[in-house]
């Protein structure tokens, strides 16, 4: 389903997570405040298999309606059981609505009724949601997330060998790691065609925003964010200078990326292929609200 509706399914996932977090955090039974969220889309697992999911960096509290800061209770943002039930219901309902309205395309040779039955089965399964304990140093978490996104599906250091026909790479065996209580690394070997197919399936659609900022981190909520920083004894938000990717590379001390690594001459830009832009006949609930 995701392969045939990549952009729509990504938007659907972002919308379901956004609605789940902000509905529950606004509920006085849980937090009763407006939080800030940085959400990042990842589609890969350690073995480069298709595993779409979101990582969310959420503030350890929120701004109440009367302008005060309210921290999370017991070190955790929300109860896992409640989040899992709400999140699963929103995803299933959104996919069902998209199928019935024709907004989601079923794979060739399949019928909508088959996917209706799949959704019923998914509603009975236990969905995976992980909520980590409050972390004392938010900058460390943000740096980790940034490096993970910048590095893409696989770091170069994980490629162990290539003989022209097969690629051998390392990965963390999650079941073994869980049983052993520490990270257990293993290795996998794939034909180069299969390795490239796995790798390139994680290249996002053109112009698809894989990192999104919500709530207190929204671009139009700078005053509210400054208010939160004031309540927490922090300095106001400062605008940062925008750098081009060439400037970032030059500051890092690497060779200029526009120069050929062989002859040293500057690369010549060729013709640009403009992507086909077709306006969608529908919008997601979160997009309409925004």
Share the mean pLDDT of the chain: 86
Alpha-helical regions (H) of the chain: 6-26, 80-101, 112-124, 138-151, 174-180, 192-200, 222-231, 245-251, 285-289
Q: Give residue 206's pLDDT.
A: 84
Among the residue ranges 92-101, 176-185, 225-234, the one predicted with the least confidence is 176-185
Q: Give residue 235's pLDDT.
A: 85
Would you say 95 and 119 are in contact if contact means Cβ atoms under 8 Å apart? yes
pTM over 0.85, yes/no: no
Q: Which two tokens stand for residue 82?
A: 């409640």
**Average of per-residue pLDDT across 160-171:** 93
Q: Give residue 276's pLDDT.
A: 58
- Domain chopping of the chain, boundaries: 1-153+206-238, 154-201, 243-269
Model confidence band, residue 277 (pLDDT cutoffs 50, 70, 90): low
d(CA 9, CA 286): 13
d(CA 11, CA 93): 14
| Residue 249 predicted with pLDDT over 80 | no
Q: Which two tokens stand for residue 85?
A: 């039930």
Would you say 232 and 220 are in contact if contact means Cβ atoms under 8 Å apart? no
d(CA 30, CA 73): 8
Rounded to the nearest 5°, which phi and psi values hold at 83? Answer: -60, -45
Residue linked to tokens 């990582």:
55
């Amino acid at each position: 389903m995701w392969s045939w509706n990549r952009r729509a399914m990504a938007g659907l996932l972002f919308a379901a997570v956004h609605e789940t977090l902000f509905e529950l955090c606004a509920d006085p039974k849980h937090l009763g405040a407006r939080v800030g969220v940085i959400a990042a889309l990842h589609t890969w697992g350690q073995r480069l298999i298709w595993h779409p999911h979101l990582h969310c960096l959420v503030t350890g509290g929120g701004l109440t309606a009367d302008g005060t800061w309210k921290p999370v209770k017991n070190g955790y943002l929300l109860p896992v059981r409640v989040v899992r039930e709400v999140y699963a219901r929103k995803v299933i309902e959104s996919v069902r609505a998209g199928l019935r309205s024709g907004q989601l395309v079923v794979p060739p040779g399949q019928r909508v009724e088959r996917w209706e039955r799949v959704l019923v089965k998914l509603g009975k399964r236990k969905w995976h949601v992980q909520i980590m304990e409050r972390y004392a140093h938010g900058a460390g978490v943000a740096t980790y997330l940034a490096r993970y996104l910048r590095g893409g599906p696989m770091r170069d250091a994980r490629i162990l060998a290539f003989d022209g026909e097969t690629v051998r790479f390392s990965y963390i065996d999650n079941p073994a790691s869980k049983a052993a209580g520490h990270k257990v690394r293993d290795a996998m070997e794939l034909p180069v065609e299969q390795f490239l197919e796995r790798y390139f399936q994680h290249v996002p659609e053109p112009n698809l925003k894989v990192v999104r900022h919500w709530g207190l981190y929204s671009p139009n909520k700078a005053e509210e964010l400054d208010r939160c920083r004031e309540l927490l004894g922090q300095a106001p938000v400062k605008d940062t200078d925008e750098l081009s990717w060439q400037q970032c590379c030059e500051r890092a001390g690497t060779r200029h990326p526009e120069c050929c690594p062989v002859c040293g001459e500057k690369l010549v830009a060729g013709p640009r292929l403009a992507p086909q832009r077709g306006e969608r006949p529908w919008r997601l609930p979160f997009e309409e609200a925004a």
